[in-house]
Chains A and B, each alone.
Chain A
Amino acid sequence: QVQLVESGGGVVQPGRSLRLSCAASGFTFSDYAMHWVRQAPGKGLEWVAVLSDNRRNKFHVDSVKGRFTISRDNSKNTLYLQMNNLRADDTAVYYCAKDRYSSGWEGYIDQWGQGTLVTVSS
């Protein structure tokens, strides 16, 4: 079955960096676009970034542009999110998520990891 396992979360001071990883299994990782979605404590969902299956196309929500970068290593079935210059309002559970559509993307997310908590605090 599909598994997405995030790691790398923790407590970090404002202005510092963190890299999240997501290990994927149970499907052909290189065939699917992948997303990061976050959820601040007690709040709703916010889409963060998407990366195409072939790594050619990546997009980030405006609030993280220039600070966060999504990437992937298809040989390791792993998705990453490099987060620089972190701010208090980046505090959230970060979910790794798989797009439903292969060879492209639609934005419909049919598989989610359990999430990793990032807390930005001094």
Chain B
Amino acid sequence: IVVTQSPATLSVSPGESAILSCRTSQSVSKNLAWYQQKPGQAPRLLIYGASTRATGIPARFSGGGSGTEFTLTISSLQSEDFAVYYCQQCDNWYTFGPGTKLEMK
């Protein structure tokens, strides 16, 4: 299963919302996760099962979608949210998307 993400880079101002997209080449039902990675750090699980927040993840992070189209919405962006975001399909083994870099405008 091929996973694509768009856009490659997203420029947003703090306090605004960001919507990141993830598509899979075939249906993965809701077997999809989102991770955040900051420079020099390991990834962090944000969302699993397409829409369930992982332990300790703030409510401003929300995931949606099913089948082949998914979104990660980050509302009221804070400075610590600027990072690279990866989606991962977990329906047919595991493949990650190429990532979306969320940068400060």
Contacts and interface: CB of A to CB of B under 8 A. Distances in A.
Interface residues of A, number: 18
Contacts of A115: 42
Contacts of B99: 44-45
A110 B99 CA distance: 18
For the residues of B in contact with A, the DSSP-based class is loop
Contacts of B45: 100, 108-110
Interface stretch (B12-20, B63-71, B75-83, B86-94): B86-94
A73 interface: no
B-side interface size class: 20 to 34
A47 B90 CA distance: 11
A109 B43 CA distance: 9
A24 to B, nearest CB: 14
Given A45-B43, A114-B42, A108 B33 contact: yes
Contacts of A114: 41-42
User: Is chain A's binding surface mostly helix, strand, loop or mixed?
Assistant: strand
A44 B86 contact: yes
A27 to B, nearest CB: 13
A107 B88 contact: yes
Interface of B: 31, 33, 35, 37, 41-45, 48-49, 54-55, 86, 88, 90, 93-99
Closest 7 CB pairs of A and B: A107-B90, A112-B42, A47-B94, A108-B48, A45-B96, A107-B94, A110-B45
Given A44-B98, A112-B43, 17 more contacts: A44-B96, A44-B99, A45-B43, A45-B86, A45-B99, A50-B94, A95-B42, A100-B54, A107-B33, A107-B88, A108-B45, A108-B88, A108-B90, A110-B54, A112-B44, A114-B41, A114-B42
